[in-house]
A and B are shown apart, each in its own frame.
Chain A
């Protein structure tokens, strides 16, 4: 599957295309299939996302997981600072990253 990701323009936060908007959580991301480029250009033009790009991912029961380690690290936060990730209260939240 293909995901569309980028960063929020104002905050810089990592963000994922959900089909009708953007989410901080990769679990909300949808497969953009062949339409990724079109969505990318429209959303970038509307300044709803900064530096967007399309990545490969795999579907899992827990939701989409980016194929490359770099995007997996992006998806949650620094592996060395669990307290700064999107799920600081869940010690197992990053088990799938590495």
Chain B
């Protein structure tokens, strides 16, 4: 885990003090809401349907027990005893009072956390692979690079007022667990003849114009990476559209001028940026990397006793191989059947912190699928961890199954939403509650957004659901064929929309078609890609 140095802590503390003054001035009437709104947004504070909402940054989804407990404390003290983990590996609180927000941020700063740049047209929280440092297939640990980018992007004077928000993901494995190519910039660390570098993808994203980021450079040397990204941002900052919010993301620029021209301009800018000496010296990289040294793995490689069938199912579904013999990666599903995807009570958050401290080298990760990961658990401890999770209603063995649904807060909380997402997720999960049925369907990534902004990643769902407003009534469009993984693709709308119950029925019919047509080990999306839309459409629309 990275630890703040004096500079990190002082800028966060200074920001809290500055925001406290801004809040006081707003309450005193010295500044208007029009003046205050951009200031509060820069500190992650939105005004949503029912109250202020605070989005707290969890850099690349990584945190320790002390930080996790602080998240629980904030839920108890400042909110209504729960938090909502998001698709950007952050956490949101839905019931924050403006007059208490500075106190909250001050407490948060004591554990090296903040809400800076979780809103606004700036570089947002850097996201990464939740299995970083534990995955057997990674060529390097992506976290030092994510941390470097965090430091570089925090209060970057040139990139604080970009044409639009900007999201960066860093992975280091061929298997993409971070929807990397659906980011404004996606980096995949790779090795070429032993040298570390990155494939650089620019111009991906979801929202109303979903695009898969094209590869702008197949290999940028690690020594050049920061300069190259700076060049990517500079070209965007210079030529990205500011006259139309719907055309302001970098994906539109790359699409409109073409990836070849964008690549040429970046190369030209890179040649200039490289003269500025912004790439960190080796010593700084080593300083950052040292924070992410592997923990002292010393457990014997013993296989857990699988005699309890429920435990065995959880092992098969939620526990993934670790690069270190004797260890495993534990996924904690925040998707109870009929529950709210991504929500956790303060007691559950505390309990996950306890588990990380007792069994997981004090580390936790938040995933973009709104789950929690204990990245380093000794196999000998898996049964104890499972038992503790079960007592806290956190042992749902549904990772990557149809009930492991990504859902945005939707119209139940969000002022931008057109339809509710959560009730649809609850009904689908309930319809497929039977674990044998879910497991028979296998990997099926279902994602729900309550509006075209696509916070629920519906474009990347094997089955995606988009809520729309049809003359004041909620209506749900179905998309099939999306993926945020290494087989990235954008889902296609299958036909006219449905009401809430209708979309649940349609999803069920689609799964029946899949079961009839699948061959071998095909997943839902494999079968869909092989047979096309027609058989599904026929079954759903008749």
Q: Considering only CB atoms, which chain B residue lies closest to A78 in the complex?
A: B412
Closest to B409 in A: A78
Residues of B within 8 A of A68 (CB): 472
Q: What 6 pairs between A and B have smallest CB-CB spacing?
A: A12-B51, A12-B52, A78-B412, A10-B99, A80-B422, A11-B97
Interface size class of A (residues with CB under 8 A): 20 to 34
Among B315-352, those with CB < 8 Å from A are: 340
User: Hey, what's the 0/1 contact readout for B3-37 against A, CB within 8 Å counting as 1?
Assistant: 00000000000000000000000110100010000
CB of B50 within 8 A of CB of A11, answer no
Known contacts: A68-B472, A69-B411, A69-B472. The answer to whether A11 contacts B98 by CB under 8 A is yes
Contact A73 B411 (CB under 8 A): yes
Is the beta-carbon distance between B27 and A10 smaller than 8 angstroms?
yes
**Residues of chain B with a CB closer than 8 A to A23's CB:** none
Enumerate B210-255 residues with CB–CB distance to A below 8 Å: none
- A residues bordering B, Cβ < 8 Å? 7, 9-14, 44, 47, 50-51, 67-70, 73-74, 77-81, 84, 98
> Once bound together, how far apart are the Cα atoms of A11 and B96, in whole Å?
7
Scoring B residues 432 to 475 as 1 if CB is less than 8 Å from chain A, else 0, what string do you get?
A: 00000000000000000000000000000000000001001110
Per the CB 8 Å criterion, the residue count for chain B at the interface is 29
A14 contacts B50, C-beta separation under 8 Å: yes
B47 within 8 A of A: yes
Q: Which residues of B line the A interface, CB within 8 A?
A: 26-27, 29, 33, 47, 49-52, 80, 95-99, 340, 411-413, 415, 417, 420, 422-423, 426, 469, 472-474
From known contacts A10-B97, A12-B97, A79-B420, infer whether A69 and B50 are also in contact, taking CB-CB under 8 Å: no
Chain A residues near B417 (CB-CB < 8 A): 70
Closest to A79 in B: B412
Taking the closest CB of chain A, its distance from the CB of B261, in whole angstroms, is 42
Q: How far is the CB of B413 from chain A (nearest CB, A)?
A: 6
Q: Contacts A13-B51, A79-B420, A80-B422 hold; do A47 and B97 have CB atoms under 8 A apart?
A: no
A70 to B415, CA, bound (A): 8
Find chain B residues with CB under 8 A from A79 CB. 412, 420, 423
CA distance A80 to B29 in the complex (A): 36
In the complex the two chains form, is A73's CB within 8 Å of B412's CB?
A: yes
A12 contacts which of B96, B412, B426, B472 (Cβ < 8 Å)?
A: B96
Give the docked Cα–Cα distance between A11 and B51 (Å): 7
